[in-house]
Structure formats: structure tokens, C-alpha cells
Amino acid sequence: MEHVALAFLFGGLSAASLPLGAAAGIWFNPSLRLTAAVMAFGAGALLCALALELVVPALAHFPDDPFQSFIWMAIGAMAGCLLFIGLDHALANMGGYLRKHSTIAHRLKRIKKTQYHKMLDKLSVLDVMRALPPDEIKRVVSDIEKRVFKAGALVCHEEAPCDALFLIESGKVRIYPHATNGQEGKITVLGSGEAFGEMALVTGVPAIKRAEAVEDTILWEVHKDDFNEVVAVSPALRKTLGRLSAHDRGEASNDIERKQSEAWLAAAIHNLESELGKPTEAEIISAARAQKTGGSNVALAIWLGIALDGIPESLVIGGSMEGANISLALVGGLFLANFPESMSSASVMKKQGSSSFNIIGMWVSLMVMTAVGSALGHIFIGDAPHHLRALLEGMAAGAMLAMIAQTMLPEAYEHGGWLTGLMTVVGFLAAIFMGTLGH
């Protein structure tokens, strides 16, 4: 029992930096650049710890057959990586992505990409949109504006001309066209997925006198100025639009050949993600607050997501103990890596409106969980067969590598730039130094 207690103590010590980092994130509110630097430092320390204290020991379990050691370690690493990715994805769908700046940004970009993909799919049936080169349509759509109208509200009218393209996401809009040759045009009602106003982009003259929301409606507006910027740099495009102007097919024409439409759409969405740009800090915080509506379910997902980031190594801490001896490099490396992890997450959660008490309590519970996991690791892994230990050490290393690649380094580089490389090396060296103290 003495060794189990020591495993519990070492596990708790490696995670003691979790509530400390959370407190720093809450009360000091560090800048994004400082957070990025500390995050890169933690990533470097964690890379060192998993390389020297997980991978190297896993490869040494079969000294007479190194290949067998590699096989078990590699199987474990891939299993740990895939397990982490799968669980992370499942928790993200429950709201667990709200735990970090980087995971929120990734989620927001995915939502934006899906949204624009659907938008381009609907725009692909419009002559005027298909006249634009697929590469240029991305510039237009990336600046598209979401507008919300209550039932009875005017979308556009004589004093605010309908000189833009409107795509209906939900709801209905009643269209009143201008009179032609002294005769009033036919009033129509358009619904979700339909568009109106596109010919005004071509001719410069609105064909619609007034548009009114029949019910609560959400529209996406392609601004005339954004469209004209693309047209201005392409003489060939101006000629194409001139032909469309001379042969008006009417609003929201749907008689385009399906194969041509699909080919245009495929070209338009190619590399769409790279064209969307990164979400701003304000967008990330706003989205986090808007999405945080799941109450206890979301809080649980966030807690489980954080546990997923930090727990894989806890079993290995206890399992790697030889009697009363433990690797200071592993414990120290994890201690150094946990601090920036919790600091970054706590700072984001505080901006979302979580109370300081709940945030600190969450990280303290994870520290206790890590200590318990370490004790269990010593009980169940310490005397396990060599192939099983190599497998489990590989799983922990794979999960930790996936976590570093998906959450720590992307967030660090986004805000730290060149400082990321420097601080990663410093963190790596700091973990090696912790290891030298053990010898």
C-alpha cells in the first residue's frame, strides 16, 4: 500500500499545476501572446516527457527483440491516437469544444465552411453567380452578411433600393416588382433556398420595387460593392454579364444544366477553408457564449474534454514506478505541460461567463482524478506483462501526441508566431533538466 500511496502522491503532484494554472488564467487574465508562449513551453515539455519516459521505456521491454517492442508500442500509439480523436469528436458535438480557444476556433471555422458550402450550392443555379470565376466567388461569399427580419419588415424598398443579391435561409419573402411598360408585375412569394435581386448586380437597375418578409426570415446578402470589385478586375467577366443583361432570364433562374452547375460548385468549394480566414477573438467569444446553452450537459462535456486532454498519462505514472522510484522527468514534464493547458482553458471559460469557483473546482477534481488514476496504474499496470505495458505506454504517448498536435501547438502558433518554436525548445530542455535531477 505504501507504493500505491506514493503513486497517488506523484500523480497528484504532476497535476497540481492544473488548479494553479487555472487560477493564473482567471485572475491575471494573461494576453494571448503570453498564453501562446506558455502553451508552447508546455508542449515542448510534454513532447520530451512522452518521448523519453513513455516511448523509450516501451521500446526497451524486449531487449532481445526490438522489433517486437516497436510493434506493441506502435499498435498502442495508433490506438491511443484514434481513441483520442474519436472521443474528442464525440465530446465536441456535445459542447466539449468550448473548453479551449483553439477547439472553439476550429469548430467555428467548420461551421462557417459548412454554411458557405450550402450557400454556394444554392447560388450555383443562378446565372449571374455562375458567370463569376469560381476562385472569385469565394471573395464575394466570404463578405456575405447575415440579416434577420421580423414578419412584416421591409427587406428593401424605394428609399433603400433592392440592389443586392439576397439568399433566403429560412422564412418567406413577398416580392413586388417594378412596373414594366406601364403594367404592374406579378407579385410572388419566395421561400427557403430561393434568391432574388441578382439581376440588379448585372444591370445596376433594381428590378424589384419592394421586398417584404412574410414571416420571421433570415437572409444572406451579397453586397453590390463586393460584387463590383470582382467585376472591375475582369473585362471578360463584364462581357459575360453584359450578355446576361441583354438576355434577362428572370430572378432565380433554375434552367442551368445540372452538370455545369455541379462542376462550377466543385471548383468554387475547392480549398474553401483556406479562403475563409481565421475567426477573430470577438467571434470566438461570441460564438462560445451563444453555443453555451446546454446547461449541465455542456458543462459535463467540457469537463470530460479537459479530462481527455490530461488523463492518459495518469495511468502510466503509476505503472512506470519501479518500487518507490519514479521518473522526475515524467512528473516534471507533465507538471510543466499542465499549467499552460489549464491557464488557457480557464481564461476562455471565464470569458464565457463561468464562475471562478466552478472553474477552480473543475481543475481540482481533475487533479484528484489524475492522482487516483496514477494509483490504479500502479496496481494494474506495474506488474503487467511486458507486451501489455508496451501497449499501454504507446497508447498514452499516441493520445498525448494527438492532443499536442490538435490543441496545444496550433493555439500557440496562432498567437505566438516565431516565439512558438523558441518556447517549445525551452520547454523540451526544461523537461530534460528535470530528468537530470533524478539521476
- How far apart CA 229 and CA 176 sit, in angstroms, is 28
What is the chain's alpha carbon radius of gyration, rounded to the nearest angstrom? Answer: 29
Better pLDDT: 63 or 262: 63
Q: CB–CB of 229/180 below 8 Å?
A: no
Average pLDDT of the chain, as a whole number? 79
Residue of 150, 346, 122, 76 lying closest to 256 (CA atoms):
122
Q: CB–CB of 251/175 below 8 Å?
A: yes
Pull the grid cell for residue 51. 518521448
In the chain, what are the domains? 2-108+280-438 (no CATH), 125-255 (2.60.120.10)
For 13, 113, 362, the CA distances from 238, given in Å and listed in that order, are 68, 29, 60
| 438 has pLDDT over 60 | no
pLDDT tens digits for 125-154? Answer: 777 777 777 767 766 776 788 899 999 999
Better pLDDT: 252 or 329: 329
Return the beta strands (E) in 116-199 as ranges.
145-149, 154-156, 165-170, 173-177, 188-190, 195-196
Q: In which band, very low, low, confident or very high, does the pLDDT at 275 lie, cut at 50, 70 and 90?
A: low
pLDDT tens digits for 316-348? Answer: 777 666 655 566 767 877 787 788 878 877 877
Q: CB–CB of 359/22 below 8 Å?
A: yes
Residue of 210, 209, 213 lying closest to 152 (CA atoms):
213
Return the beta strands (E) in 59-152 as ranges.
145-149
Residue 136, classed as helix, strand or coil, is helix
Instruction: Give the amino acid at 207.
Output: A
- How far apart CA 248 and CA 261 sit, in angstroms, is 19
DSSP summary character for residue 52: I
Return the beta strands (E) in 286-350 as ranges.
none
Q: What share of the chain is helix, strand, coil (3-state, %, to 5)?
A: 70, 10, 25
Q: CB–CB of 346/363 below 8 Å?
A: yes
Q: CB–CB of 312/27 below 8 Å?
A: no
Instruction: Give the amino acid at 190.
Output: L
237 CB-contact burial (10 Å; exposed 0-12 / middle 13-18 / buried 19+): middle
Residue of 364, 348, 359 lying closest to 310 (CA atoms):
364
Give me the mean pLDDT over the 190-206 stretch: 81
- How far apart CA 265 and CA 259 sit, in angstroms, is 10
DSSP summary character for residue 183: B
Give me the mean pLDDT over the 159-173 stretch: 88
- How far apart CA 155 and CA 148 sit, in angstroms, is 9
Location of C-alpha cell 451563444 = 290
Pull the grid cell for residue 313. 498519462
Q: In which band, very low, low, confident or very high, does the pLDDT at 233 lie, cut at 50, 70 and 90?
A: low
